[in-house]
Amino acid sequence: MMNRNSRKKTKPSTVSKLRNKGKHRHRKGPVSLLTVLLAMIALVLALFIIALAEHDWNVQDVFTFPTPSPTPSEPGVTVNREFDEAGGIAVVQNYIPYDSPRRTGEIREIKYVTIHETDNRSADADAAQHALFLTSNTTDITAWHYTVDDHSIYHHIPDNEIAWNAGDSRTEDGGNMNGIGIEMCVNYGSDFEQTMKNTAWLAAKLLVTYDLTPDDVRLHADFMDKECPHRLISEGRVPEFYQMIRDCYHILKEQSGS
């Protein structure tokens, strides 16, 4: 009797070879698909890196982070409005990144325009430098809406968003909750008289834009025990500054025909 283990092995038929070949091809399919997916991911990553490099590695410039904007029908909030200039000075829209701790993302009703001074006497501490500080420094929650110097105006936060600058926490009808904060630069070598004029025009433009009046202008000192804006107060120029705002306000109202 022939031993089963000693049977002569037969060569696989052609049909069998074709079937096995087909099986091997089928096994290679998932590997090929994975390769394609990895290549696509690598391409997207490369494009992202290129985009970052073109924007000085600033993610905020590559992706737009939405800012809350209410509809006119929402009660208790003011719709944000932007403008390009105030008193002939261009307004630079340079928002603080939305994920910064300096941004609250909370919208509210606008009731005041609040005047501050930066109290930074360094020669280079103009509006542009303060804008750079606000957008790059993430170690604090303090923020304000505008910075003004003798030649420029920077806009940091939407007007209808709460910003921590008045020092009165969440006081109802307070500076933080309802005021648009404006910081005036007082850096050495700058023209403070022109800074006052530029700020007066900006304040007046905001009053007209949001249907407020010169009576709705406040100082930082109105909301907390702090002599700010220091130079205006210490030099006794607050009444003069208020009159500048009123004059600008009436000019803008006449121009608008209202």
- Residue range 183-193, pLDDT digits in tens: 999 999 999 99
pLDDT of residue 74: 64
With 0-12 CB in 10 A as exposed, 13-18 as middle and 19+ as buried, what is 160?
buried
Query: Please, are residues 146 and 181 in contact by the beta-carbon 8 Å criterion?
Result: yes
- Domain 85-256 fold is Lysozyme-like (3.40.80)
Which residue did the predictor score with more confidence, 246 or 77?
Answer: 246
Distance (Å, rounded) from C-alpha 60 to C-alpha 102?
A: 15
The DSSP secondary-structure symbol of 194 reads H
Local structure of 230: helix, strand or coil: helix
pLDDT of residue 103: 98
Q: Which pLDDT band holds residue 15 (cuts at 50, 70, 90)?
A: very low
Domain spans, the chain? 15-64, 85-256
Query: Please, are residues 136 and 130 in contact by the beta-carbon 8 Å criterion?
Result: no
Render pLDDT for 221-231 as a digit per residue (tens, 0 to 9): 999 999 999 99
Query: Please, are residues 32 and 26 in contact by the beta-carbon 8 Å criterion?
Result: no
Q: Which pLDDT band holds residue 44 (cuts at 50, 70, 90)?
A: confident
Query: Please, are residues 182 and 79 in contact by the beta-carbon 8 Å criterion?
Result: no
Q: Is the pLDDT of residue 106 over 50?
A: yes
Bond prior to 229 in cis (omega within 30° of 0): yes
pLDDT of residue 1: 46
Q: Which pLDDT band holds residue 73 (cuts at 50, 70, 90)?
A: very low
Residues 6+ away with beta carbon under 8 Å from 67? 80, 95, 98, 105, 158, 161
Name the pTM for this structure: 0.73
pLDDT (average), residues 224-245: 98
The overall average pLDDT reported for the chain is 86
% of residues, the chain, pLDDT over 70? 78
Which of 20-24, 125-129, 211-215, 239-243 comes out lowest in average pLDDT?
20-24
pLDDT of residue 152: 98
Rounded (5°) CA angle 83-153-162: 70
